[in-house]
Amino acid sequence: MTRELLDTINFPQDLRKLPEACLQDLARELREFIIEIVATKEGHLGASLGVVELTIALHYIFNTPEDLLVWDVGHQAYGHKILTGRKNTFHTNRQLNGISGFPKRDESEFDTFGVGHSSTSISAALGMAIASRLKGEHQKQHIAVIGDASIASGMAFEGLNHAGVTKANLLVILNDNAIGIDPSVGALKEYLTKARVGHKPASDNIIEALNFQYFGPVDGHDLPGLLKVLQEMKEISGPKFLHVITKKGKGLKKAEEDQVKYHAPGKFEPATGELLKYETEGLPIKFQDVFGLTLVELVEKNDKIIGITPAMPTGSSLKYMMDAFPDRAFDVGIAEQHAVTLSAGMATQGFTVFCAIYSTFLQRAYDQLIHDVALQKLPVIFCLDRAGLVGEDGATHHGVFDIAYCRLIPDLIVAAPRNETELRNLLYTAQLGLDKPLVIRYPRGRGSQVEWKTPFQKTVIGRAVCLQQGTDIAVLTIGNMAANASEAIKSYKGLGSIAHYDMKFVKPLDKDLLEEIFEKFDKIITIEDGVITGGFGSAILELAMHLDYKGKIEIMGVPDNFIEHGNIDQLQEIAGINVEGIRQKLETLN
């Protein structure tokens, strides 16, 4: 692949030296470069391919980094990273000690705001714009690039609502490709669907109603047109809004045809886009699929079950239920607060609601979890996918805080199944009827059981189980850490024997069993795939103090700092909760 133009560019000031006539060729080279690297290193593909021309135009027209450019979520920022000093390290994207897959302030001065969750760009850019006015920097430009899925979120509207009554020099660019990770949903999406290049819908424009000057829609792949309109918008003061139509996956036929799969496709042939096959025969299925497929089984016999997800039907596998029972499963878009309170509202009417949401995204609806669900003892079942360390998406996506932030809420059950069968039985138990809400956390990726689809058995709430008897050290695990602990115990060569307990529930704890453990053992280790501060181990310590336990308790989990990106094995090693880390801890207690 020739990169005659791209090889001359390390920073945007190099880009601005090129004549406009060369920019289309640069776009082709940049797109090919992204495809070539992501094909072998993996990452988020479709979104970045869709904004290649827009990325070039923004850095060509605006004086970044003095002008401040904020990318929403950051899935689409690969071209931005390559043009802003990270071309030669782009092959390390999302790898341990490599560059982040998302914009990150301490990585580059061109990354003006750290992102990973959606819908933050407008508020952040508005904050920057107001700050610039206060400092007398009236010519400074502030640009927020947000997608059509993200702009439907409540926080985005809060930012627009405020911006419309300011004189802030803010440009909001809507990158409209009709899809986020899954296809966009909602009434705003229906409005945007009517908008095409050169045609603004005749109905009232909600953006103009919020006091923005509205421009577009324009073709996001027409570089000369983008350059012209962005240059014009530099001269307009106050809040303004540019509607840009793009195609996710642009330039790679397979990615254009299957935009959901090619959002983050894994490894593929760069020339054709064909996904590289890897053998899955005989492997356990993913936890998310255990959830999705089990829910379909339960819905077939229980017409009170409802499924809800905020924009993650494929990622959570609620898609199975949406396909089989479309009237009883809902994708509400990137609207976590709405998803939680919608679930609560349905629960008041006697429905059994399963709200499938990534652990890291439930953080965005914390008040609703407390105020709208737990305070009213509404038995909503929260299925927290991607709990624990998730790997290459890094600090913005690790689901390591949910144990700590959930266990302090009254009338909230917190469970973590150690394997697929345990998850399946918890889902079954939940729909039999609860008198309070339940959180079920489970990890990203595959489990350990090939034969997971066993007859349903009722789980006793708050009851733990002994997996292995012992006399010298008691290991207490929660959730998927049972597997690492079991392997570590098998490989342990020290003196004495190790007992292993799967606690199953963080709340309520099995106090009867724990009293027995405190009586029998003077050395205890707790292990969790979550933060140590305020987590499962803290709950054990609190009970031990209450019972005046005199022995030694060691807590293993994620330390009190943000864990960056890398594969899950590497990150568990950093946290010390991998098999070897647990084995070494056993040795130190011997």
Helix, strand or coil, per DSSP, at residue 465:
strand
Catalytic residue among 286, 364, 504, 585: 364
DSSP 295-360: HHHHHTT-TTEEEEESS-HHHHTTHHHHHH-TTSEEE--S-HHHHHHHHHHHHTTT-EEEEEEEHH
Any catalytic annotation for residue 137? no
Residue 494: burial class (beta carbons within 10 Å; 0-12, 13-18, 19+): middle
DSSP notation for 31-90: HHHHHHHHHHH----HHHHHTHHHHHHHHHHS-TTTSEEEESSSTT-HHHHIIIIIGGGG
Alpha carbons 220 and 243: distance in angstroms, whole number: 9
Q: Is 148 exposed, middle or buried (0-12, 13-18, 19+ CB in 10 A)?
A: buried
Of 92, 209, 107, 90, nearest to 161 (Cα)? 209
Cα 373 → chain centroid: 22
Q: What is the DSSP string of 369-412?
A: IIIIIGGGT---EEEEET-B--STT-TTT-B-SHHHHHHTSTT-
Question: Which residue of the set 42, 336, 420, 528 is catalytic?
Answer: 336
Whether 162 contacts 126, CB under 8 Å: yes
Q: Are 70 and 113 in contact (CB under 8 A)?
A: yes
Distance CA 95, CA 79 (A): 18
Residue 328: active-site member: no
CA-based angle 219:110:397, to the nearest 5? 85
Catalytic (active site) residue 94:
no
The answer for residues whose C-beta is within 8 angstroms of residue 60's C-beta and 6 or more apart is 12, 15, 16, 18, 20, 23, 227
Cis peptide before 65 (omega within 30 of 0): yes
Active site residues: 248, 336, 364
